[in-house]
Amino acid sequence: MLMELTAAMIAAYLEGDVEGDSNARVSEFAKIEEGKEGDLSFLSNPKYEHYLYTTGSSIVLVNRDLRLKQPVHSTLIRVDDSYGALAKLLTYIESQRPRKRGIHPLACVEESAKVGRDVYVGPFAYVGEGAIIEDEVQIYPHVYIGDLVHVKAQSILYAGVKVYAKCEIGERVIIHAGAVIGSDGFGFAPDKDGRFSKIPQIGNVIVGNDCEIGANTTIDRAASGATRINDNVKLDNLIQIAHNVEVGSNTVMAAQSGVAGSTKVGKNCMFGGQVGLVGHIEIADGVQIGAQAGISNSIRSAKEPLMGSPAMPVHDFYKSSALFRRFPEFNEELVRLRAEVNSLKDALAALKTAEEK
C-alpha cells in the first residue's frame, strides 16, 4: 500500500515533468497491463508500450525520450530513467513506514546481550550470550542470533533467519526468511580407512553494509579467518556460499548459484541463475556470467560475458549452440558420406581386381 501521492508531488521528488493532470492521485502500485484508477505504473521496456495506451493507471512513469504513437488517458511523468525512478520512489515510501519497536514478551534475550535503542525482537526469537544488537535493528519471529553475534544498525532479519555464533552483520543489511549465516563449512578429511572425519570450522562470516541476502540462502563460516560478503552485495534466494569465499562489493548473484570454498569473487560482478564456481579460483572485477554457466578456472579479466559449461565467451557460446542444434543433421550427412565413401572404395576395389585379371 502506497501513501497517497499526487503527480505533482511525485514529479518534484523525482525531478520529472508532468504531462496531464498534476493533481492526479495514486495510492497503489500496479503493473502497467493491470493498472486501474488510483494506481501508479511505469514503462521502461518498449515491448510493453502498447499497454500505455490502454492502461487504467492514473499515473505512469515513462522515459523522457518516449515518443507517443497514440493518445494516452493516464497522466505521464517523464524522467531520465523510469525504472530507476520507480526504485527511488518506492524506497522513499518504504522508509516512511512505521518501524516495529520493542522486545516481545515471548522472545528470549540473554542478559549479557547488548540491545540498542528502538530495536524490535519478535516472538520466539532468540538473542544469545554476548550478542550486540545495534540501534533500530528488526529481528522478526523465530530468528536465532547466536552467542557473540554482532548485528549493526538498521539491519532487518526476517522470520526464521539463523545467524551462528561470532558472525558479524553490517549496517542496513536485509536477510530474508530461512537464510542461514555461519553454518559449518563443508570440511572433511579422509582417514586411512577411507572414512571422512570432520574438520572443525572455527572462523566466522562477515557481511558488509547495505547487503541483501535472499530467502534460504546459506553462507558457510570459514575454516579459519572469515567468509566475507563485502558492501552492497545482493544475493538472490537459494544461493550457497562456501567457507572462506570472498565476494567483492557491488556484486549480484541470481538464484541457485553456488560458489565453492576459498574462491575470491571480484567487485561489480553479475552472475545469472544456477552459475557454479569451483573452489580456489579468482574472478576478476566486473565479470558477467550467464545462467547455468560452469566456471572451472580463474577469470583474470572481464573481456566479455561468459556462458556455457565449461564457460566460454558469449559469442563463442552462441556459435557453438547453433552448431550443436544441427548435430542430428550433421550426423545424417556423415552417415550418407560414409556410405558413399564405402561405395566408392568397393567400386575402386572391383576396378582394380578387373585390371589385374
Which residues form the catalytic set? 243
Q: Residue 143 and residue 235: Cα distance in Å, rounded?
A: 19
Q: Residue 321 and residue 343: Cα distance in Å, rounded?
A: 33
CA distances in angstroms from 268 to 253, 254, 302, listed in the order given: 10, 14, 10
Q: Residue 219 and residue 212: Cα distance in Å, rounded?
A: 12
Output phi, psi for 348, to 5 deg.
Answer: -65, -40
According to DSSP, the residues that pair with 26 across neighbouring strands are: 5
Q: Residue 219 and residue 204: Cα distance in Å, rounded?
A: 10
Closest CA to 148 of 163, 129, 127: 129
What is the residue-wise DSSP string for 240-262? Answer: EE-TT-EE-TT-EE-TT-EE-TT
Q: Residue 297 and residue 285: Cα distance in Å, rounded?
A: 15
Q: Tell me which amino acid residue 112 is.
A: S
Looking up cell 499497454 gives 51
Neighbours of 61 (CB within 10 A): 26
CA distances in angstroms from 82 to 44, 78, 210, 248, listed in the order given: 6, 8, 23, 28
Residues present in the chain in total: 357
Give the distance from CA 83 to its chain's centroid. 18
Closest CA to 253 of 244, 261, 266: 266
